[in-house]
């Protein structure tokens, strides 16, 4: 088995998605269940139950804390000012804000079969975005790589989604206004999001570290948070012993997996990343979903979203 990553060309759909193809995913998106639920599982692997407020809530007022109130709704500013515990009250709004944080950084531009992780991330964002639009929700988000970014506030009827899809399908142009990591982009997004939103973070989380996860805590506060791990089979499954040429389109190196110790070290890299994500998902009461580059995106995402509610579709 030889793994060679092809050079990036506009004609290769496995390297960069076509805008028309992302728009056409609207039909598949009707299979996805984005409906908020009263009680949902925090992760597929864990059994911790958490409560989300439902279809999108907007801050209304504060009142004195009563036994049984959710401590996550504490209004710490009023509590500090009055010396009496207060909680925030919310009113239901017609349209829930849906935010898509889509990583297109260097580690996402990789694939050993079928397509790049960045393409799967783009297709996932399109499917989630169209599913939200069809529910009447407002969709916006942040698409970024290390050289540029595009942010759109949630808007109705695809007005916020379409610019993001255009950015995801556009050829790379270095502008110097990007984000170096998912943590840096996520920290920026925490200042934009209102309570009651659905936030989907779509990334390979290559650089995720528990000590740099404060942004996840902020995103999960008063939000429903989806962590969507995009990975390639060459990352999650160790290939047979051998030496494999790999390239970024400019430079080529060899991946040496001839010895058992090298293969075990290789295997542990992805497993440690997955373990960290599972721990963070449980800590922040988020849902962890997984998509691989060789799997059909629509069907896999529908199954993963069903698993987030403890059912499969």
Looking at 49-63, 160-174, 255-269, which range is the least confident one? Answer: 49-63
CB 99 within 8 A of CB 191: no
Q: Which domain holds residue 254?
A: 19-45+95-308
Alpha-carbon span 124 to 304, nearest angstrom: 12
Two tokens, residue 33? 């269940």
Q: What is the pLDDT of residue 158?
A: 92
What is the pLDDT, as a whole number, of residue 250?
81
Distance (Å, whole) CA 62 – CA 134? 33
Span of 27-36, 113-122, 158-167, 286-295 with lowest mean pLDDT = 27-36
Query: Are residues 70 and 179 both part of a single domain?
Result: no
Say if residue 83 is in the same domain as residue 200.
no
Residue 88 and residue 62 in contact, taking contact as beta carbons nearer than 8 Å = yes
3-state secondary structure of 63: strand
Q: Give the model's confidence band at 54: pLDDT under 50 very low, under 70 low, under 90 confident, else very high.
A: very low
- Give pLDDT tens digits for 192-233: 898 889 999 999 999 898 888 899 999 998 889 999 999 999
Domain assignment present for residue 269? The answer is: yes
Tens of pLDDT along 70-120? 888 889 999 999 999 998 876 555 578 999 999 999 999 998 888 999 999
Most confident of 34-43, 242-251, 277-286: 277-286
221 and 267 fall within a common domain:
yes
β-pair partners for 86: 64
Q: Give the pTM.
A: 0.79
Measured CA to CA, the distance from residue 125 to residue 297 in angstroms comes to 11
245 and 213 within one domain: yes
Structure-block tokens of residue 102 = 């889509």
Decide: residue 259, CB within 10 A, 0-12 exposed, 13-18 middle, 19+ buried: exposed
Does 84 lie in the same domain as 122? Answer: no
User: Residue 199: its pLDDT value, please?
Assistant: 96
208: in domain: yes
Least confidently predicted of 15-24, 34-43, 114-123, 288-297: 34-43
- Percent of the chain past pLDDT 70, that is, above it, reads 83
Let me know whether 79 and 28 are in one domain: no
The pLDDT of residue 62 is above 80: yes
Alpha carbons 290 and 231: distance in angstroms, whole number:
8
Residue 160 has what pLDDT? 95
What does the pLDDT read at residue 306? 83
């Amino acid at each position: 088995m030889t793994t060679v990553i092809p050079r990036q060309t506009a004609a290769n759909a496995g390297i960069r998605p076509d805008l028309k193809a992302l728009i056409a995913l609207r039909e598949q998106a009707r299979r996805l269940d984005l409906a908020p639920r009263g009680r949902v599982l925090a992760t597929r692997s864990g059994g911790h139950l958490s409560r989300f407020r439902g279809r999108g809530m907007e801050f209304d007022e504060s009142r004195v804390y009563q036994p049984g109130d959710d401590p996550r709704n504490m209004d710490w500013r009023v509590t500090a000012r009055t010396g009496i515990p207060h909680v925030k009250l919310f009113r239901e709004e017609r349209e829930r804000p849906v935010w898509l944080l889509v990583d297109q950084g260097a580690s996402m531009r990789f694939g050993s079969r079928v397509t790049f992780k960045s393409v799967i991330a783009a297709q996932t964002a399109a499917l989630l975005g169209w599913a939200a639009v069809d529910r009447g929700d407002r969709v916006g988000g942040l698409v970024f790589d290390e050289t540029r970014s595009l942010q759109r506030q949630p808007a109705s009827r695809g007005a916020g989604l379409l610019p993001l899809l255009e950015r995801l399908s556009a050829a790379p142009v270095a502008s110097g206004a990007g984000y170096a990591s998912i943590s840096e982009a996520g920290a920026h997004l925490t200042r934009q999001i209102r309570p009651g939103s659905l936030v989907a973070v779509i990334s390979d989380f290559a650089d995720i570290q528990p000590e740099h996860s404060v942004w996840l805590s902020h995103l999960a506060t008063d939000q429903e948070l989806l962590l969507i791990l995009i990975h390639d089979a060459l990352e999650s499954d160790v290939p047979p012993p051998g030496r494999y040429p790999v390239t970024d389109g400019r430079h080529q190196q060899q991946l040496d997996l001839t010895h058992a110790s090298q293969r075990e070290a290789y295997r542990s890299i992805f497993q440690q990343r997955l373990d960290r994500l599972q721990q963070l998902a449980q800590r922040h009461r988020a849902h962890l979903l997984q998509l691989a580059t060789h799997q059909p995106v629509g069907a896999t995402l529908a199954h993963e979203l069903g698993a987030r509610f403890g059912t499969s579709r």
